[in-house]
Amino acid sequence: MNMVSETNPVAAGAALHPCWSCKGPVANRALFCSVCGAVQGPGAVDHFTRLGIAETFEVDLRELERQYFGFQRRLHPDRFASRTPRERALSQQQAVALNEAYETLRDPLKRAAYLLRRRGRTVDIDGAATVNDPALLMEAMEMREALADAESPADVSKIAAKADAEVLACQCAISGALGADDLDRAANLTTRLKYLYKLADEARARKAKMTRPML
């Protein structure tokens, strides 16, 4: 994008840049030029703003989906398939940005890590970072042992249900910690959530293995 902000401090202050198509002024956040209607590139906004929802941990998934679908209806590359290459490329960038925002916000773990990052805290939710919370380590170990000892699908179901309940409780606690701006606690709980998800997944996988015919 040919942003005026690099050369023109006045334009930067006004959050405007020239539309690539009609060359007139267009707001940096605008999706389309209000004069010529040309699609614009994705603006540098956070995921919540991009999808037009309030920045909180409690996200109404139906609302999130409605907003996401609404923006994709206007911006998806399928809407620009017979347009010029430039318009196709911009719509693809828009759709990529929308998908990234949607994928981040619909998953409670990624959402929690994102909210923390916005407040200057980094929680590693992808890698196998070492945990130094002894209570969490003990809990994870006990659950794994219980899973290994489980002999029937019913036993595994019980463990899976327990893990699911813990996941829910942890999410409530994260919500509270973020609401109270207790970032230390929120970061610890987010790490805990990551491990609880992992355990719930392992329980499900184990159950599937028990009930499914071998291939």
Partner 1 sequence: MLLQLHEPGETPAPHEDERGPAVGIDLGTTNSVVAVPVDGLPRVLRDDKGSGLVPSVVAYDEDGTVLVGTEARKLLLDRPEAVVSSVKRLMGRGGGDVKALAGTLPFDLDTEAEGGMVRLKVGGRTLTPVEISADILRELKARTEAQLDAKVEQAVITVPAYFDDAARTATKDAARLAGLEVLRLVNEPTAAALAYGLDNETEGVYAVYDLGGGTFDISILRMEKGVFQVRATGGDAALGGDDFDHAIAEHFLAERRASLGEETITPAEAKQALMTARLAKECLSNSMGGEWMIEVDGKRSRHFLDRDTLDRLIAPFVDRTVAICQAVLEDADVEPGLVQGVVLVGGSTRVPLVRTKVAALFGREPLSDIDPDEVVAVGAALQAEALTRGSDTLLLDVTPLSLGIETMGGIVEKVIPRNTPIPVAMAQEFTTYQDGQAAMLIHVVQGEREMVDQCRSLARFVLSGIPPMTAGAARIRVTFAVDADGLLTVSAQETTTGVEQQVAVKPSYGLSEDEMARMLRDSMEHAKEDMEVRLLTEARVEARRSILALQSALGVDSDLLSAEERQVIDEAVSGAERAMAGDDRAAIQDAMERLEAATKPFAERRMDRGIRSALAGVNVERLEGSLGDD
Q: Which residues bind partner 1 (CB under 8 A)?
A: 4, 8, 10-11, 13-16, 18-19, 21-39, 44-46, 49-50, 52-53, 65, 69-74, 76-79, 81-85, 87, 92, 95-96, 99-100, 102-103, 204, 208, 212-213, 215
Tell me the closest approach of the beta carbon of residue 76 to partner 1, in angstroms. 6
What tokens appear for 118 in the block?
Answer: 């916005």
Minimum gap (Å) between residue 205 Cβ and partner 1:
8
Cβ-proximal residues to 175 (8 Å cutoff; 6+ apart), any chain: 57, 58
The 10 Å CB-count burial string (b at 16+, else e) for 134-160 is eebeebbeebeebbeebeeeebbbebb
CA angle 117, 188, 45 (to 5 degrees): 15
Is the CB of 46 or the CB of 58 nearer to partner 1? Answer: 46
Q: Dihedral angle at the C-alpha atoms of 123, 129, 133, 137, nearest 10 degrees?
A: 130
Supply the minimum distance, in Å, between the C-beta of residue 114 and partner 1. 13
- For residues 20 and 188, which CB has a smaller minimum distance to partner 1 in the complex? 20
How near is the Cβ of 33 to partner 1 at its closest, in Å?
7
25 or 153, CB closer to partner 1? 25
Is the C-alpha dihedral spanning 170, 175, 180, 186 positive or negative?
Answer: positive
Longest dimension (CA), the chain: 70
Closer to partner 1 at the Cβ: 17 or 192?
A: 17
- The nearer residue to partner 1, 156 or 177, going by C-beta atoms, is 156
Shortest Cβ distance from residue 197 to partner 1 (Å)?
Answer: 12
d(CA 161, CA 158): 5
